[in-house]
């Protein structure tokens, strides 16, 4: 593909702005052609936001306003696009991704890729059969703090890793769930682990390696929703390390922290802040050039989403041009979903769940 890669976008809720912003930053290689939302006026506002991003960046290309739709089938039929970015409710990601794949359009889906493993597998299969790419957004891997931590893990600086501890202590008031009927439902949202803590489940597996088993307890303690608002999980990795995830949407009065701590025989690191944005402890037995970087790498994100979407889109563009492999494809995105499903299964059945989960 020598011309600009043409994007369509489905779902114009709160996360869609990060996608539109990323496409506008990469305007030399990408173009937003069309947007879709059940609420057409909301889609229209996002189309205008795309043009505003370009203008605010000092870019005045001769591009039309993205076409606006309230029906995805109509958009996929009428518009010529290379890839569909899916920002609809989580439970609809496979449905909308399969529609695009059947039109031989590449698929980029927000996390989680589905709210259950069977639907995730259906999406992977559809993309395989259509010979299109499937990308699952896990932009937190690209945060500068996480890149440095991953480098330390890959270099073996921790020696044997003993523990990986994750806290996602955020606040989602009842009004948040009341704003949209799909929030807090098993079918379309998936719960606090599946929705809000999805990226952290991904980071646990990315940093710690394959999971052997998980034991969990979850509960709906305060919010009037179907799914859990709070829970804890204990993870046994195949390499013998033990992990934990503590997740709540009940922090008072606002988000407290999103943190990861790794404890090994030769090092201890804690990355904290509201969204793993601040290196709070960085100690290793042996020195490395990365130690100088760690002292100045912390940053303040505008929100819990961080700055990784643009970097993720950059990889997508390189893949579609044939210059790179996907950072996170469908099968990679499925790994964290399986851990999350293991957490829910353990909580329901009151026992440890072995991974992989046998579905077939």
User: What are the 10-residue block averages of pLDDT along the chain, 360 residues in total?
Assistant: 88 96 95 98 97 81 88 98 98 98 98 97 98 97 96 98 98 97 97 97 98 98 98 98 98 97 98 94 97 86 66 97 96 98 98 94
Residue 317: per-residue pLDDT: 98
Q: What CATH fold (topology level) applies to the domain 140-301+337-354?
A: Dihydrodipicolinate Reductase; domain 2 (3.30.360)
3-class secondary-structure state, position 203: helix
pLDDT of residue 296: 87
Query: In the prediction, which pLDDT does 60 show?
Result: 61
Q: Does domain 5-139+308-329 have CATH number 3.20.20.70?
A: no
Counting other chains too, the contacts that 108-111 makes at CB distance below 8 Å and 24 or more residues apart are 108/83, 108/84, 108/135, 108/137, 108/316, 109/85, 109/134, 109/135, 109/136, 109/137, 109/333, 110/11, 110/15, 110/19, 110/86, 110/137, 111/136, 111/137, 111/138, 111/198, 111/199, 111/202, 111/333, 111/336
CA distances, 205 to each of 114, 165, 198, 226, 340 (Å): 18, 12, 11, 27, 11
The per-residue pLDDT for 267 is 98
The residue ranges of every structural domain in the chain are 5-139+308-329, 140-301+337-354
Closest CA to 100 of 126, 120, 122: 126
Residues with Cβ < 8 Å from 306, sequence gap 6 or more? 139, 140, 143, 275, 276, 277
Q: What is the model's pLDDT at position 2? A: 62
Sign for the CA dihedral angle at 314, 316, 318, 321 comes to negative
Confidence at residue 308, expressed as pLDDT on a 0 to 100 scale = 80
Distance, in Å, from the CA atom of 193 to the CA atom of 277, rounded to the nearest integer, reads 20
pLDDT of residue 303: 52
| 176 contacts: CB under 8 Å, gap ≥ 6 | 183
Separation CA 157–CA 179 (nearest Å): 46
* pTM for this entry: 0.95
């Amino acid at each position: 593909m020598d011309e600009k890669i043409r994007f369509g976008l489905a779902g114009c809720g709160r996360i869609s702005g990060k996608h539109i912003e990323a496409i506008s930053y990469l305007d030399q290689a990408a173009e937003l052609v069309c947007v879709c939302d059940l609420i057409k006026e909301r889609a229209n506002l996002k189309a205008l936001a795309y043009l505003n991003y370009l203008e605010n960046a000092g870019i005045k290309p001769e591009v039309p306003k993205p076409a606006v739709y309230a029906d995805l089938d109509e958009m996929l039929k009428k518009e010529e696009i290379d890839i569909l970015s899916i920002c609809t409710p989580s439970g609809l990601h496979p449905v909308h991704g399969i529609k695009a794949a059947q039109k031989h359009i590449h698929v980029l889906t927000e996390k989680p890729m589905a709210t259950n493993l069977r639907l995730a597998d259906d999406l992977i299969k559809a993309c395989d059969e259509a010979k299109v790419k499937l990308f699952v957004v896990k932009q937190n891997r690209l945060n500068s703090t996480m890149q440095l931590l991953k480098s330390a893990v890959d270099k073996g600086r921790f020696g044997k890793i003993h523990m990986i501890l994750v806290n996602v202590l955020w606040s989602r008031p009842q009004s948040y769930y009341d704003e949209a009927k799909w929030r807090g439902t098993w079918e379309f949202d998936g719960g606090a682990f599946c929705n809000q803590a999805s990226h952290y489940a991904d980071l646990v597996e990315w940093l710690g390696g394959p999971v052997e088993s998980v034991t969990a307890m979850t509960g709906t303690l305060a919010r009037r929703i179907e799914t859990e608002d709070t829970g804890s999980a204990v993870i046994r990795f195949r390499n013998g390390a033990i992990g934990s995830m503590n997740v709540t949407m009940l922090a008072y009065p606002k988000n407290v922290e999103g943190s990861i701590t790794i404890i090994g025989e030769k090092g201890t690191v804690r990355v904290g802040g509201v969204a793993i944005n601040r290196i709070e402890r960085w100690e290793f037995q042996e020195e490395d050039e990365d130690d100088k970087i760690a002292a100045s790498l912390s940053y303040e994100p505008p929100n819990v989403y961080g700055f990784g979407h643009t970097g993720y889109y950059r990889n997508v563009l390189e893949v579609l041009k044939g210059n790179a492999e996907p950072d996170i494809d469908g099968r990679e995105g499925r790994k964290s979903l399986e851990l999350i499903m293991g957490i829910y299964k353990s909580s329901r059945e009151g026992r440890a769940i072995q991974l992989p989960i046998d579905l077939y």
